Amino acid sequence: MKTDQLVAIDIHVHAEVSCCQPVDPIWQTFEDAASKYFKVGKRPTIAETVAYYRERKIGLVMFTVDMEAETGAKRIPNQEVIDAARENSDMMMAFASVDPHKGKFGALEARRLIEEQGVSGFKFHPSLQGFFPNDRMAYRIYEVIAEHKLPAIFHSGHSGIGTGMRGGGGVRLKYSNPMHLDDVAADFPDMTIIIAHPSWPWQDEALSVCLHKPNVYIDLSGWSPKYFPPQLVQYANSQLKHKMLFGSDYPVLAPDRWIKDFAEAGFKPEVHELILKKNAIKVLKLDAKA
C-alpha cells in the first residue's frame, strides 16, 4: 500500500459477490435476512468495492468467510480476493479464510495461501464457522499463521447474520465471546489477533483481553461510532489508543458514514489518525515494507 496517499485504512471489508460463481442458494437465505437487518440493498462486486474505496483514497483489507462445514454454503474463492489485491496493491490487501474444520488439509491450504499467494492475514467467524476459537481443532491453522507472524481477524459479539431467522439460522452466538481469544493470544503470542466489532454483549471482556495481551487489537467495524459503548470510547482515548483500528464492515456499513460519525463520537483529536490509519500500518507491517 502507498500509505502516504491514503486518508485511512479500512481493515474490515467483505467480498460479497463472486465474479465466477452464482450466489449459493443456502447463503442467499442468510443474505436476505441480513439485508433486512442491516437495511442494505444490492451487494457490490469485488471490483465495485475496490472502485468505491479508490475514489475515496481509503485503503482496504478484504476477505471472504469459509463456513462450508457448518452452513453448507459454498465460499467465495480466496483467489478472487487475492487477484484483486494484486491488481490494486497500492491500496488493497487480501486476507484469506480457511474453515478450521478442514484440519490438516486446511493448514496446508493456509500455508499455500501465504507462501505461494502472499496473503497478508486471515479471517475467522466463530459463530458462522461453528467453533470456539480456543478449540484445539483450529490450532493447526493458527500454527501456520503464527509461524509467518501474520494477523488474524476474529468476529466477536452479536451476529447480524442469522438475526430474525428461524432458530437464528442455526448460528450460535456463544462461539463469539471474545474471552475465548484469551487462550489463543496466550498460546500464540506471535500471531496478531484482531477482535472484530464492538463485542456486545461482551464489550468488557474484549477490552480486558486487549489490555492484557500485547498481541491483541480491536477493530471498530460493524457499528456506527455514535452507538459505541462508552467504555470502548474511553479506552480508545486512553490506554488502548494504539490498539484500536478503523473498520467499516462494508457493505453493511459504509466508510463515509462511519468516518462522519467517528468525528462526532467523542474521540480525542489526537487519536483520530492513530485509529484511522497509523495503527493499521503497524498491524499490517506496512512501515517495514515502505
Report the b/e string of 201-211 with b at 16+ CB within 10 A: ebbebbbbbbe
Residue 96 has phi, psi (to 5 degrees) of: -110, 165
What pLDDT, on the 0 to 100 scale, is given for residue 40?
A: 75
Q: What is the DSSP letter of 156?
A: -
- The parent domain of residue 163 ranges over 3-289
The grid cell for 129 is 464457522
Q: Which burial class, exposed, middle or buried, applies to 136 when counting CB atoms under 10 A from its CB (0-12, 13-18, 19+)?
A: exposed
Q: Which grid coordinates belong to 237?
A: 482515548
The Cα 30–Cα 25 span in angstroms is 9
pTM of the model: 0.94
| pLDDT tens digits along 204-256 | 999 999 999 999 999 999 999 999 999 999 999 999 999 999 999 999 999 99
pLDDT for the residue numbered 290: 42
- What is the separation of C-alpha 129 from the centre of its chain, rounded to a whole number of angstroms? 14
What gap in Å lies between CA 22 and CA 26, rounded to an integer? 11
The CATH number of residue 123's host domain is 3.20.20.140
Q: pLDDT tens digits for 156-184?
A: 999 988 888 899 888 899 999 999 999 99
Query: Which of 112-121, 161-170, 281-290 ranks highest by mean pLDDT?
Result: 112-121
Total of domains in the chain: 1
